[in-house]
């Protein structure tokens, strides 16, 4: 591999340094405000911390899922963002630490963990699954799976860069290993995401259940990760080294992929709504009744418009999907609305644990995502600077850097 190619790939745009500094400052402000909030209202602190944690761990999970999808499907669209996705997967250790405060607040957050839960006949029947020791054990298992998948994915992907001819010999074996890991890994991701969403979100209202709930989180997490990556690509795509490999075709592919996930999100949500509403069962419809009253309905209307109608209509434009700047703006909108969507999903249960809890945004619901997000983005930026921004072991990347494609 030529020295010029390695040198050009080792360049980091100044936007990453700015992201690191801004994220560090946001983390300091948000975490200090959250610490004050803990002493003012510890129960609200735990609830807001869970909301923030669910959003940012979802982005890391989405990075891992999209990375493995690309290893199975191939395509230049994934090569140009591979290192960005992998940087996101290397933040699970930070997220595991950020999960620890929630362990202290389990009885403050989840109704099934409270002393009076034994008097509830529904919770009594679910006690074999919904109990604190088993809850903690499952969380340890989820993080173990995600950390292991991220470790081997990053290790083998980096090893591929060391091969002069990755399309043959040892390089081919590593590529096959990555595909095998991704195939089995996506099955594990489906299981762990489903159970984690049930444990950390759906069990906030243990009287309600939905068999499609885990899929909502899978699609939303992949969409969040993809939106963040597109925002970053739009920011640094015109600077080296991405400028040497990024073409309008890859921007177009990322736009089409985001459109597909936006449509899938709408389909899954509409399917759940129609099934529950048509069934009209008293144990299911209160979940929607709460979210369609008390001010929550306005967030629902905002989601219909901002999470589907606007992105869908804008992403139908071929010209927009081929413009990194315009696509980045749409991705920024989608990422912001993803946070609102998560708040709509878990906010009513965190606020009142039941029907009739009106919309009330606590200041900790802003401080906690700022603090957790600032810390996650700071770790993400540092990981991004830890390796070349491009997978130099891929022949297509080398050919573009050398001017042969």
- Tell me the C-alpha to C-alpha distance, in Å, between residue 47 and each of 79, 91, 137, 204, 330: 38, 22, 21, 10, 30
pTM for this entry: 0.95
Residue positions counted in the chain: 405
**What is the 8-class DSSP label of residue 166?**
T
Extract the tokens encoding 73: 């499907």
Report the distance separating Cα 187 and Cα 18, nearest Å.
Answer: 37
Burial class (CB in 10 A: 0-12, 13-18, 19+), 404: exposed
Q: What is the overall mean pLDDT for the chain?
A: 92
**From CA 270, how far away is CA 38, in angstroms rounded?**
37
| Structural domains counted in the chain | 1
Distance CA 61, CA 73 (A): 18
| 373/316 Cα distance (integer angstroms) | 31
Distance CA 185, CA 72 (A): 11
Per-residue confidence (pLDDT) for residue 8, from 0 to 100 = 54
- 151 by Cβ neighbours in 10 Å (0-12 / 13-18 / 19+) ranks as middle
| pLDDT digits 0-9 by tens, 296-311 | 999 999 999 999 999 9
pLDDT tens, 26-50?
A: 999 999 999 999 999 999 999 999 9
Q: What is the pLDDT of residues 199-209, one digit of tens each?
A: 999 999 999 98
Q: Taken in order 342, 346, 352, 357, is the CA torsion positive or negative?
A: positive
Q: How confident is the model at residue 355 (pLDDT cuts 50, 70, 90)?
A: very low
Structure tokens at 40: 């003012």
- For position 354, what pLDDT does the model report? 46
Confidence at 4, pLDDT banded by 50, 70, 90: low
Whether residue 332 contacts residue 230, with contact meaning beta carbons closer than 8 Å, is answered with no
Per-residue pLDDT tens over the stretch 220-238: 999 999 999 999 999 999 9
pLDDT confidence bin for 273, thresholds 50/70/90: very high
Q: By residue range, what is the domain housing residue 386?
A: 3-401
């Amino acid at each position: 591999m030529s020295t010029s190619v390695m040198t050009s790939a080792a360049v980091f745009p100044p936007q990453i340094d700015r992201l690191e500094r801004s994220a560090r400052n946001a983390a300091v402000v948000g975490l200090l405000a959250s610490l004050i909030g803990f002493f003012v209202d510890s129960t609200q602190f735990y609830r807001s911390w869970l909301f923030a944690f669910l959003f940012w761990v979802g982005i890391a999970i989405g990075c891992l899922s999209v990375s493995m999808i690309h290893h199975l499907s191939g395509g230049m669209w994934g090569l140009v963002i591979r290192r960005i996705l992998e940087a996101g997967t290397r933040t699970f250790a930070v997220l595991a630490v950020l999960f620890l405060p929630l362990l202290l607040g389990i009885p403050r957050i989840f109704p099934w963990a409270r002393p009076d839960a034994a008097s509830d006949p529904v919770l009594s029947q679910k006690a074999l699954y919904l109990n604190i020791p088993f809850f903690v054990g499952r969380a340890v298992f989820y993080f173990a799976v995600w950390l292991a998948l991220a470790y081997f994915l990053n290790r083998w992907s980096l090893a591929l860069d060391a091969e002069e001819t990755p399309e043959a010999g040892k390089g081919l074996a590593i590529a096959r290993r990555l595909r095998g890991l991704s195939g089995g890994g996506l099955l594990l991701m489906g299981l762990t995401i489903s159970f984690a969403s049930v444990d950390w979100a759906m069990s906030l209202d243990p009287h309600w259940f939905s068999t499609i709930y885990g899929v909502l989180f899978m699609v939303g997490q992949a969409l969040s990760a993809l939106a963040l990556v597109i925002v970053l690509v739009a920011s640094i795509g015109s600077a080296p080294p991405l400028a040497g490999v990024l073409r309008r075709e890859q921007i177009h592919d990322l736009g089409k992929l985001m459109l597909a996930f936006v449509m899938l999100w709408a389909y899954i949500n509409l399917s759940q709504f129609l099934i529950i509403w048509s069934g009209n069962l008293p144990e299911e419809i209160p979940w929607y009744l709460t979210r369609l009253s008390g001010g929550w309905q306005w967030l629902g209307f905002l989601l219909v418009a901002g999470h589907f109608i606007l992105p869908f209509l804008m992403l139908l434009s071929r010209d927009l999907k081929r413009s990194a700047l315009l696509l980045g703006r749409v991705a920024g909108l989608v990422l912001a609305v993803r946070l609102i969507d998560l708040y709509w999903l878990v906010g009513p249960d965190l606020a009142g644990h039941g029907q009739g809890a009106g919309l009330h945004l606590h200041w900790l619901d802003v401080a906690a995502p700022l603090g957790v997000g600032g810390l996650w983005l700071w770790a993400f930026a540092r990981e991004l600077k830890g390796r070349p921004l491009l997978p130099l072991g891929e022949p297509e990347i080398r050919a573009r850097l050398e001017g042969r494609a």
